[in-house]
Chains A and B, each alone.
Chain A
């Protein structure tokens, strides 16, 4: 997969979908392609977050530590974006991500990401808008859930 194909793929990632292609290309170029073998961890719950990932191919498990052991809470596949919470909020990793099968990712380091956002504020606005949509989405679900519970 070369750079142009990566860019095409990034366009399909919701959080990045509104960003102009030229910037996405720079983001892809300054990011690292990292492949994981089955069972390797992308990040570990509780570790400091230094990068975000876009999955280019393969499937990964999202695992969370509980008193009774690790449980799987979700899975991530092609086009999914992960690790942004630790990077954006500067909190430790909230989950462990483990490759379920050979996994190919684009690793966007925290430094690169911040440098690009600093350089192109419109990029920040697009991401902000996307995140706000997500919050709104969550709120809606919450309202529905409370309404159902009340009913």
Chain B
């Protein structure tokens, strides 16, 4: 990237700059016209000066009044028609209006074009910077902070966009104005002219100098703000450490110190700025001072007539404003130049990856090659400690190799080198004779795979994370209708104008062939297979059961889930399952549902009936009043309140039992107790109106089977059922969308898959009820061939930032599955299973090894435990960054030594 901002701007926006410049010059003509017309309207149209001698005057005399630049200079182009005074007034008024409109249109067009050019350049710059991040050498990320990179691309280059539009036009335009005025002064009196020029030159020389400290401080301000952003991100990243070690105040001290330094820089900046402004004002007034003094002296001594002095002063009137703006422009130029340099310096580390390595392939990526040859590969960060020390070996890409060694043996670094995420400081790696490090990333990405000890997941669905490694190039373009297509074409054209690639993220990027599928239709079995290899399929299945399906989008699946519901309920008739599930039955009270759920008898959508809202919903209250059950419920609330006060009063407010079991929170309990004391056992009629809603929420949460307070007898059940029916039958139109009622024949789009299949509630307190129903559900889904469909729903689960919504083991398993699904020719597993328990580690290793053997693909297994190496064909033993021994397990065992030692440990 050019270090000079102007070169950069000129190079990428030359044609646009020239067009805008042309427009600016053209606009001046109309600008001057709009200035001269009013004078004619007043003098001739209204006062009738021109009509004193004759009734009519020639009109449409086309003349250019250049008096703003060259006083008195008028060019007559056309002699015009004869008009009278009124006609003249009317026409001239319209001419004025026209000139104003044209002038405005020019202004609008120029500003729009400037804006577009600026935004385009900003887009280009941002893209180039981002592009560079993708090409940074891996080691560079140990030095830069991500928040600082983000701040630079997002905030620091932003002001450049505004400046770019004015970068060339402004100085040309202002310079032109200033030059005209100076020439005019020179024409009046060359001596005076020279004085003016000298003073201006002094201004131009001194003022930027005064402003230099301001710029230096500006740079400091930029850097300190960037570091602040980095520091804040560090606090967020290390927040647990801060809490664990009680270091919050130490962090506060650091931030306070930084903010103090930033304050000082900013305050200094103000001081310097105003000093510069002060001198700027003084200097700009020095010129009229000189004209008065010297011009006056010439006039008095008769070397110059008074008119000429006045003329010079008048010409000078037009001079300060362009000069001032020029100086401002120059200030802005230096400011953005510094900002630009500051930013791009951070984006040119040594050892950037050449662009060609990240090219997009035209077709399927070629195979990797047959053999990797490492010669004298050394990795050393500072030149002294050698993490890898002259490692030489030949590694066929189809070999099944295990690398074992102690914790600082360098085995993990070897794995990283093979994945090219650590670059050797010396030595070479050749693949079939050509440089491994010149291999395009698409070959590496498609044909090799690497899993390290920690897996990063993007905050997208499980599926998108899993298929991330298949998205090397767009395979099938997205299909658009004509209108969208045209829009997209325009969008891409614009992208190209700003030097951005016209790649379509909505195209299908998934390389199905890599995964061994032919298209979207048969990808799922491959996904399931990969999940099975890492034993993640059951977890995703469980996520799927907890997921929802929109029947509008997947009518087939909803249909089949309904079938599963029927099948399951058929099986539940078996006496051995009796009493495990209480089915949703519209005509029966469900003792395993809360009162709220019983009345609603459906899944709430939106907020109207969710949680405690249902108790205070006006429609619900009207239903309760109409069915005459409201008082009973309030009475029930009172009983619950009394019981809670009785049970929980002696407990300290922070006891977890409160949160787990109490209907009333610890904070609220004293208030409720007061209320009960005031009532003195007088019953519900004595409860003030204001306290009733609070009592109302309590019975709504009550589940007879769980809480066992014996509050709902058969008669109460009947009445609650009546309320349920009344609620559903007169539900007003606007609330129809707020609840999806339970209906055995319909799929419930708001409920999870599991709830849809179950269509009932697990009965409380049945030993192993949940497991048995889980197994039964799973059996039913398997028999109906729905197991994979449930996994498919689970795949849509969003893993959250950094995959935090999955457990650490699940994240790691997903990372391995992501590496497996593309069936790499060479897979490097770098202690990636260390997080699992011993038996799981071995099972996953066996799965991976078995598939590799079947398809004749290579595996390099960097073992976290030496014993994992046993089933591999070749073993490399490492120690102190060197290869200590190498060979078949049997050969190594025969030799003994370090191998035997490690295996015994």
Residue A17 lies at the interface, judged by CB distance under 8 Å to chain B: no
Known: A3-B709, A22-B646, A30-B660. A115 touches B655 (CB 8 A): yes
Residue A79 lies at the interface, judged by CB distance under 8 Å to chain B: no
Interface residue ranges of B123-178 to A (CB < 8 Å): none
Stretch at the interface among B8-16, B53-61, B384-392, B761-769: B761-769
Known: A3-B710, A6-B708, A25-B647. A36 touches B767 (CB 8 A): yes
CB-contact partner of A115 in B657, B764, B766, under 8 A: B657
Known: A2-B709, A3-B708, A115-B656. A29 touches B647 (CB 8 A): yes
Chain A residues near B657 (CB, 8 Å)? Answer: 26, 30, 112, 115-116, 119
Does the CB pair A40–B767 fall under 8 Å?
yes
Chain A residues near B647 (CB, 8 Å)? Answer: 22, 25-26, 29
CB-contact partner of A119 in B646, B651, B709, B767, under 8 A: B651
Interface mask (A9-38 → B, CB under 8 Å = 1, otherwise 0): 000000000000011011001101111110
CB-contact partner of B655 in A4, A40, A119, under 8 A: A119
Residue B650 lies at the interface, judged by CB distance under 8 Å to chain A: yes
Known: A2-B708, A3-B708. A35 touches B660 (CB 8 A): no
Known: A30-B660, A36-B767, A40-B767. A119 touches B650 (CB 8 A): yes
Number of A-B contacts (CB under 8 A): 56
Instruction: Kindly name the residue among B652, B655, B657, B764 whose own CB sees the greatest number of chain A CB atoms within 10 A.
Output: B657
Interface mask (B633-646 → A, CB under 8 Å = 1, otherwise 0): 00000000000001
Interface residue ranges of A34-65 to B (CB < 8 Å): 34-37, 40, 42
Does the CB pair A33–B767 fall under 8 Å?
no
Docked complex Cα distance between A6 and B708 (Å): 9
Does the CB pair B767–A35 fall under 8 Å?
yes
Interface residue ranges of A91-123 to B (CB < 8 Å): 111-112, 115-116, 119-120
Does the CB pair B648–A1 fall under 8 Å?
no
Does the CB pair B652–A33 fall under 8 Å?
no
Known: A36-B767, A119-B652, A119-B655. A25 touches B646 (CB 8 A): yes
Interface mask (B707-720 → A, CB under 8 Å = 1, otherwise 0): 11110000000000
**Closest CB of chain A to B373's CB: distance in Å?**
55
Chain B residues near A26 (CB, 8 Å)? Answer: 647-648, 651, 657
Chain A residues near B764 (CB, 8 Å)? Answer: 32-33
CB-contact partner of A34 in B579, B655, B765, under 8 A: B765
Does the CB pair B655–A2 fall under 8 Å?
no
CB-contact partner of B650 in A2, A29, A120, under 8 A: A120
Does the CB pair B768–A2 fall under 8 Å?
no
- With both beta carbons as reference points, the residue of chain A lying nearest to B652 in the complex is identified as A119
Chain A residues near B456 (CB, 8 Å)? Answer: none
Interface mask (B761-802 → A, CB under 8 Å = 1, otherwise 0): 000111110000000000000000000000000000000000
Residue B78 lies at the interface, judged by CB distance under 8 Å to chain A: no
Residue B661 lies at the interface, judged by CB distance under 8 Å to chain A: yes
- With both beta carbons as reference points, the residue of chain B lying nearest to A103 in the complex is identified as B767
Chain A residues near B579 (CB, 8 Å)? Answer: 35
- With both beta carbons as reference points, the residue of chain B lying nearest to A99 in the complex is identified as B767
**Closest CB of chain B to A3's CB: distance in Å?**
5
Does the CB pair B768–A33 fall under 8 Å?
no
Does the CB pair A40–B768 fall under 8 Å?
yes
**Closest CB of chain B to A23's CB: distance in Å?**
8
Instruction: Describe B's contact surface by its main secondary structure.
Output: loop
Interface residue ranges of B595-645 to A (CB < 8 Å): none
Does the CB pair B767–A34 fall under 8 Å?
yes
Docked complex Cα distance between A1 and B710 (Å): 8
Chain B residues near A33 (CB, 8 Å)? Answer: 708, 764-765
- With both beta carbons as reference points, the residue of chain A lying nearest to B576 in the complex is identified as A37
Docked complex Cα distance between A22 and B709 (Å): 14
**Closest CB of chain B to A83's CB: distance in Å?**
14
Docked complex Cα distance between A68 and B655 (Å): 47
Chain B residues near A42 (CB, 8 Å)? Answer: 767
Does the CB pair B661–A30 fall under 8 Å?
yes
**Closest CB of chain B to A106's CB: distance in Å?**
9
Chain B residues near A2 (CB, 8 Å)? Answer: 708-710
Docked complex Cα distance between A35 and B767 (Å): 6
**Closest CB of chain B to A139's CB: distance in Å?**
35
Chain B residues near A29 (CB, 8 Å)? Answer: 647, 661, 707-708
Instruction: Kindly name the residue among B579, B656, B767, B768 whose own CB sees the greatest number of chain A CB atoms within 10 A.
Output: B767
CB-contact partner of B765 in A3, A35, A40, under 8 A: A35
**Closest CB of chain A to B771's CB: distance in Å?**
11
**Closest CB of chain A to B427's CB: distance in Å?**
54
Does the CB pair B766–A34 fall under 8 Å?
yes
Docked complex Cα distance between A26 and B660 (Å): 12
Chain B residues near A25 (CB, 8 Å)? Answer: 646-647
Chain A residues near B765 (CB, 8 Å)? Answer: 32-35
Does the CB pair A35–B656 fall under 8 Å?
no
- With both beta carbons as reference points, the residue of chain A lying nearest to B767 in the complex is identified as A36
**Closest CB of chain B to A89's CB: distance in Å?**
23
**Closest CB of chain A to B369's CB: distance in Å?**
54
**Closest CB of chain B to A110's CB: distance in Å?**
13
Docked complex Cα distance between A23 and B764 (Å): 23
- With both beta carbons as reference points, the residue of chain B lying nearest to A104 in the complex is identified as B765
Docked complex Cα distance between A25 and B764 (Å): 19
Instruction: Kindly name the residue among A26, A32, A34, A40 whose own CB sees the greatest number of chain B CB atoms within 10 A.
Output: A26
- With both beta carbons as reference points, the residue of chain B lying nearest to A120 in the complex is identified as B650
Interface residue ranges of B422-477 to A (CB < 8 Å): none
Docked complex Cα distance between A116 and B710 (Å): 24
**Closest CB of chain A to B640's CB: distance in Å?**
11
**Closest CB of chain A to B86's CB: distance in Å?**
99
Chain A residues near B648 (CB, 8 Å)? Answer: 26
- With both beta carbons as reference points, the residue of chain A lying nearest to B661 in the complex is identified as A30
**Closest CB of chain B to A102's CB: distance in Å?**
10
Docked complex Cα distance between A35 and B650 (Å): 30
Interface residue ranges of B571-585 to A (CB < 8 Å): 579
Chain A residues near B660 (CB, 8 Å)? Answer: 30
- With both beta carbons as reference points, the residue of chain A lying nearest to B705 in the complex is identified as A33
Chain B residues near A3 (CB, 8 Å)? Answer: 707-710
- With both beta carbons as reference points, the residue of chain A lying nearest to B660 in the complex is identified as A30
Residues of B within 8 A of A (CB): 579, 646-648, 650-652, 655-657, 660-661, 707-710, 764-768
Nearest 9 pairs of A and B residues by beta carbon:
A2-B710, A33-B765, A36-B767, A26-B647, A34-B765, A3-B708, A30-B661, A2-B708, A40-B767
Other 10 A-B pairs with CB < 8 A, given A3-B710, A42-B767? A2-B708, A3-B708, A26-B657, A32-B765, A33-B708, A34-B765, A35-B765, A37-B767, A40-B768, A115-B657
Pairs across A and B, CB under 8 Å, 12 listed? A2-B710, A6-B708, A22-B650, A29-B708, A30-B657, A32-B765, A34-B766, A35-B765, A40-B768, A119-B652, A119-B655, A120-B650
